[in-house]
Amino acid sequence: MDISPFTISVSQDVLTDLKMRLGMARIPINVDLPSEDEWEYGTPTGRVEELVDCWKTMFNWRKMETTINVTLPQFTTLINAGPLHRELKIHFVHRRSSNPTAVPLFFVHGWPGHFLELVNLLSSAI
């Protein structure tokens, strides 16, 4: 089984495209809903505006990318995914416990999730 080191590396073109799309976001006209009903019909307009602004002006993907790559030992490997798919490339984080008698743990996330949802579990399990 071939296991290869992996680092996250999002191209600048992708980040530039995202910033452009965020700049073109059309936020619907704010509808005044009673506060107890504001999530009844979807995400409140004000919250959408805050999120778009945060992604456009405050979020630093390069800093996050570096933090992830420095703190999480990441790898890829091919697994046998059955006769219909043959081999499937998977991404995983592998960190050993400092406790030599620790029971190995294997966490798998589902869709539409991502591996960063499990970082706190990984930290507390060591």
pLDDT tens per residue across span 54-89: 999 999 999 999 999 998 999 999 998 888 878 888
- Long-range contacts of range 20-27, CB-CB < 8 Å, 24 or more positions apart? 22/52, 22/55, 22/56, 23/56, 25/52, 27/52
State how many domains the chain has: 1
Question: pLDDT digit string (tens) for 20-50?
Answer: 999 999 987 766 666 677 788 778 888 889 9
Question: Does the predicted model carry a pTM greater than 0.85?
Answer: no
**Calpha distance 103→101 (Å, rounded):** 7
Range of the domain at 31: 3-125
Which amino acid appears at position 38 of this protein?
E
